[in-house]
Amino acid sequence: MRYLQVFILFIVAFALTGCSSSQDKAYKAQEGVHKQRLELVEQYQDCMKEAGDDTMKADNCEQYLKASEALK
pTM for the predicted model, two decimal places:
0.67
Predicted local distance difference test score (pLDDT) of residue 17:
65
pLDDT value, residue 42: 96
Which pLDDT score is estimated for 18?
A: 64
| Of 59, 61, 33, 30, nearest in space to 46 by CA | 61
71 φψ region: left (φ > 0), alpha (ψ -120 to 50), beta (else): alpha
pLDDT tens per residue across all 72 residues of the chain: 777 676 676 676 666 666 667 788 889 999 999 999 999 999 999 999 999 999 999 999 999 999 999 988
Domain spans in the chain, listed from the N-terminal domain onward: 2-70
